[in-house]
């Protein structure tokens, strides 16, 4: 029986699978990147629990844009590290199916940078760098999955623009790796994750105050544990009798 609802799951996904610069995705950014398939108002309704379950179309869109396997929407957070690890192993064994052109193109938009400005690519800048071989609308249609099997010449043009080999379009999508701290957090008690999500909703000054108190409590608990361990290991001296 699931213990995490989609409102909490959305918050954990936003916290775990961030933008390429390390910042959390804003709902408006997801709306723009998914061409309103997952609109900010829809995701806000999920957050507020006015909508209980994320629909299939919104699941696919958020997973594609944010870069996580869509299966995570149906899994408990403590299962996420194992799912990601299994997908990485499958990719290494050559057993993972090729990613869609939309997924692979989205990865390039996330991580590649314009060769002249070093800014993130936009659909317009890709069209401009293609020398007329791609229109802005064609780039957008491939990115959003409206064109599921782009012609070979369009993929080659995208390869030239993003400076990746043509073979890029026939490989499994890169599976994001979780750092050890994040994996431990996801695998930890549900109560701690729930508290973390509640703290994220607070103003920054209150979050800082709570963070300071938590650090103080953790330090105190560690010192007490070390003292108890020291006492436990201290050899006992039998009483001397006259």
Q: Is the model's pTM score more than 0.75?
A: no
* Assigned superfamily of 101-170: lambda repressor-like DNA-binding domains (1.10.260.40)
- Protein fold of 6-95+175-188: 434 Repressor (Amino-terminal Domain) (1.10.260)
Residues 184-232: tens digit of each pLDDT: 777 766 666 667 767 767 788 887 888 788 788 888 888 888 888 888 8
Residues 98-123: tens digit of each pLDDT: 788 998 998 899 888 898 888 889 99
The phi, psi pair for 51, rounded to 5°, reads -115, 125
Domain ranges across the chain: 6-95+175-188, 101-170, 189-229
Tell me, yes or no, if the two domains 6-95+175-188 and 101-170 fold the same way: yes
Band of pLDDT at residue 242, cut at 50, 70 and 90: very low
Q: Given its phi and psi angles, is residue 17 left (phi above 0), alpha (psi -120 to 50 degrees) or beta?
A: beta
Round to whole Å and give the CA distance between 165 and 133: 18
Q: Would you say 114 and 187 are in contact if contact means Cβ atoms under 8 Å apart? A: no
Neighbours of 71 (CB within 10 A): 15
Residues 141-160: tens digit of each pLDDT: 999 888 989 999 999 999 99
Round to whole Å and give the CA distance between 62 and 57: 9
């Amino acid at each position: 029986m699931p213990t995490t609802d989609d409102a909490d799951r959305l918050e954990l996904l936003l916290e775990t699978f961030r933008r390429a610069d390390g910042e959390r995705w804003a709902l408006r950014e997801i709306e723009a990147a998914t061409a309103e398939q997952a609109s900010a108002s829809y995701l806000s309704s999920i957050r507020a629990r006015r909508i209980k379950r994320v629909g299939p179309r919104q699941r696919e869109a958020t997973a594609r844009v944010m870069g996580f396997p869509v299966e995570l929407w149906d899994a408990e957070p403590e299962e996420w590290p194992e799912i990601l690890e299994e997908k990485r192993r499958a990719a290494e064994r050559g057993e993972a199916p090729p990613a869609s052109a939309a997924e692979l193109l989205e990865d390039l938009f996330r991580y590649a940078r314009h060769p002249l400005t070093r800014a993130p690519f936009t659909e317009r800048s890709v069209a401009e760098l293609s020398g007329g071989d791609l229109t802005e609308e064609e780039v957008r249609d491939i990115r959003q999955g409206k064109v599921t099997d782009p012609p070979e010449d369009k993929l080659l043009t995208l390869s030239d623009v993003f400076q990746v080999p043509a073979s890029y379009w026939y490989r499994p999508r890169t599976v994001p790796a979780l750092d050890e701290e994040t994996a431990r957090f996801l695998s930890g008690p549900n109560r701690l994750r729930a508290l973390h999500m509640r703290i994220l909703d607070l103003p920054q000054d209150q979050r800082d105050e709570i963070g300071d108190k938590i650090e103080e409590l953790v330090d105190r608990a560690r010192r007490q544990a070390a003292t108890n361990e020291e006492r436990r290991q201290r050899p006992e001296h039998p009483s001397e009798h006259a």
